[in-house]
Amino acid sequence: MSILGEEMVAKLVVGIVTAGGDAPGMNAAIRACVRNLLAKETKVIGVKRGYKGLIEKDFETLTSRSVSGIINLGGTILKTARCEEIRTEEGLEKAARNLNELSLDYLIVIGGDGTFRAAKEISRKSGVHCIGIPASIDNDIDGTEETIGFDTAVNTALEAIDKIRDTAISHERFFIVEVMGRGSGFLAIAVGLASGSEFILIPEKPPNVDSLIERYKVMKSLGKTSMIAVLAEGAIDGLTLVNMLKKRIDAEVRFSSIGYIQRGGIPTLRSRILANLFSAKAVEMIFEGKKDLMVGIVDNKIRTNELTGKKRTIGEGEIYMLNLAEKLAI
């Protein structure tokens, strides 16, 4: 079908899948991919429920109307899943067979590092080339300095921490606020600096409870009556930390996990702009015949990069932010 709804002879057939954890802005990316592809007379197939849909042949043809009214919605209209089967040889074979039956030329994969790793395998098995669009609230994908959804998630977490700060100040408490990030501290660092939190605890630098307590005492001696530690979930178990602190410091320690609220909600302007720019570039790449690459933003420019499926790790910029947050929280 063309953008206007009438029959057309498709030049290419392209699939779109969202996989792994949902991220706000995925829908804006789906919309932009679909409409850019339709403008180039491409047949667009949506794969439902992540890679599960590839294995179970859960497909739907997408038209311009299928993506109406979704630019401002969190989640993903295609749905998503964490699919263990795609990591197996059998699962990969089924997915490859189904892709080839559809005569797909390309598959656009929208997701995180795990999604990209699987995409490489799918491409190897099926010969259908994949183009990756990075979307994850964790912001930890190699090949891009920012992912779709990160900005929305940090703003959601920031709003929550600002609210928790009211109780911390009023009750003179020490709050451990857990944010997402099982393997990376990008979210915790950004939100920790922006919220003026006294501690930022990340998986890349597992917290030392003795030095945390030392710093707590220094801050208290400087007149601080309330404090906040932003804890990335992968750094240390939050409740264990709270129990240790309760035994060793003279403070009302409380734990609050922001949790899945960070994954949902209306995507911010930044998340939507990235979704639009990444998707336009992904479609351009397809029509330039590029294979097994991803789009990303590096030095504020939209770029293409190798689809490595690796995780990005914190660098100099994040270490600087960590140190700055620590310095300013005194």
Distance CA 173, CA 109 (A): 44
Q: CA dihedral in degrees (212, 179, 169, 220; nearest 10)?
A: 10
Question: Among this protein's residues, is 138 annotated catalytic?
Answer: yes
Q: How many Å apart are CA 274 and CA 162, to the nearest integer?
A: 26
Per DSSP, helices labelled H in the chain are 26-38, 51-55, 89-101, 113-126, 150-171, 186-195, 209-221, 238-248, 269-287, 316-328
Tell me which of 44, 62, 92, 137 binds ligand F6P, using CB under 6 A.
Answer: 137
Smallest gap from Cβ 54 to ligand F6P, in A, equals 18
Q: How far is the CB of 46 from ligand F6P (least distance, A)?
A: 20
139 is a contact residue toward ligand F6P (CB under 6 A)? no
First to last CA, the chain: 61
How far apart are CB 268 and ligand F6P at their closest, in Å?
A: 17
Minimum distance, C-beta of residue 281 to ligand F6P, in the bound complex (Å): 23
Q: For residue 82, state whether it binds ligand F6P (rule: CB under 6 A).
A: yes
The catalytic position among 22, 58, 113, 138 is 138
Q: What is the spatial distance between Cα 40 and Cα 19, in angstroms, rounded to a whole number?
A: 25
| Binding status of residue 25 toward ligand F6P by CB under 6 A | no
CA distance 173 to 241: 15
Contact with ligand F6P (CB under 6 A): which of 75, 91, 143, 181? 181
Contact call for residue 87 and ligand F6P (CB under 6 A): no
- Please identify which residue in 15, 17, 19, 21 interacts with ligand F6P, judged by CB under 6 A: 21
What would the x/- binding string for ligand F6P be over residues 30 to 69, using CB under 6 A? Answer: ----------------------------------------
Strand-pair category, 12-18 with 301-306: unpaired
Catalytic residues: 138
Where do contacts with ligand F6P occur on this chain (CB under 6 A)?
21, 82, 136-138, 180-182, 233, 263
